[in-house]
Amino acid sequence: MERLSVWAPDGLPEIIPGDHLGELIADLLAGLEEQDRPRDGDVVVVTSKIVSKAEGRVVAADDREQAITDETVRVVARRERPGLPPLRIVENKLGLVMAAAGVDASNTPEGTVLLLPVDPDASARTIRSALTQRLGLGRIGVVVTDTAGRPWRDALVDIAIGCAGITPTDDLRGSTDTHGRPLNVTVTAVVDEIAAASELVRGKSAGRAVAVVRGMDRHVTDADGPGARALVRGSADDLFREGSAEAYARGLADGAAGRGAGGR
């Protein structure tokens, strides 16, 4: 029997710029009943929102569109929306492809929007260090999450944009399936699945920004590891590097101008 338990406590104070987030999370978790306090092998999941708040990644709401532009490395796709700013799906400075570059207008004080953390893997490492010290632990994982849409499916799921002390993937290549055949392509995005599982108890409107996950010991490591950046697919390998309309338009222009194939 394999088991997974996930819990998200209430009680984290509102996070403001300059807060030592690792300490505040440690305070919250140290105050839980014994069975709910993190143990070696557990994973602590933290939404990027509170990391952004603690790191002061706050800009005025009037500048939301400008903030998105500033965070944009490359526009992937764009769609006009009547009465609203256009939908922009862009590659941001973290290499993540997201709507609005990940700029967030919810759960932040009126008149402000939040940018993503500058380096969520580094943030995860810092939180991990604080938690292991404060809670007297030897080995825990930390995952920093964000909410994202995806092509071909409606609605949103949480993914991992930062992690430390946990392998981002569960690489089964080299092992075999139940029939003894090699599993050649099965690399599971463990930290994305942990992010998704944690969202089910954190939610978005009730203010629970931290969750503990127990049962993932086999993925928790002594070292910080490569982080969630390892899950970002390189553009050159990506078959959906550009939105369909954008790629079509570029081809149309190249074809009409008599330019050769410039697919990229």
Interactions with a copy of itself, residue window 51-110 (CB under 8 A): 77, 79, 89, 96-97, 105-110
Ramachandran angles phi, psi of 248, nearest 5°:
-60, -45
**Based on CB atoms, which residue is closest to a copy of itself, 129 or 246?**
246
Binding segment (CB under 8 A) for a copy of itself, from list 52-60, 115-123, 130-138, 164-172:
164-172
**Based on CB atoms, which residue is closest to a copy of itself, 77 or 126?**
77
Give the shortest CB-129-to-a copy of itself separation in angstroms.
25
Binding segment (CB under 8 A) for a copy of itself, from list 21-29, 121-129, 133-141, 172-180:
172-180
Q: How many residues bind a copy of itself (CB under 8 A)?
A: 96
Question: 240 to 259, contacts with a copy of itself by CB under 8 A?
Answer: 240-258
**Based on CB atoms, which residue is closest to a copy of itself, 96 or 126?**
96
Sign of the four-CA dihedral 121, 202, 15, 19: negative
The one among 64, 139, 204, 221 contacting a copy of itself by CB under 8 A: 204
**Based on CB atoms, which residue is closest to a copy of itself, 69 or 95?**
95
Three-state secondary structure call for residue 119: coil
Two tokens, residue 86: 């256009």
Instruction: Compute the C-alpha angle 236/230/9, nearest 5°.
Output: 135
Q: Residue 81 is inside which H or E element, if any?
A: strand 72-81
What are the residues whose beta carbons fall under 8 Å from the beta carbon of 1, sequence distance 6 or more?
none
Question: 222 to 241, contacts with a copy of itself by CB under 8 A?
Answer: 230-233, 238-241
**CA gap 146, 156 in Å, rounded:** 10
Residue type, 64: R
**Based on CB atoms, which residue is closest to a copy of itself, 125 or 208?**
208
Q: Name the CA dihedral angle for 103, 104, 108, 114, rounded to a multiple of 10 degrees.
A: -10
Site string for a copy of itself, 108-127 (x = CB under 8 A): xxx-----------------
Strand 112-114 to strand 58-60: parallel, antiparallel, or no bridges (unpaired)? antiparallel
Give the shortest CB-79-to-a copy of itself separation in angstroms.
6
Tallying the residues shown for the chain, one arrives at 264
The one among 39, 41, 122, 169 contacting a copy of itself by CB under 8 A: 169
Query: What is the DSSP-derived secondary structure letter of residue 246?
Result: H
> Which residue's entry shows tokens 């602590």?
44
The one among 34, 179, 222, 236 contacting a copy of itself by CB under 8 A: 179
The one among 27, 172, 221, 226 contacting a copy of itself by CB under 8 A: 172
Q: From the CB of residue 259, how many other CB atoms can be counted at a distance below 10 Å?
A: 11
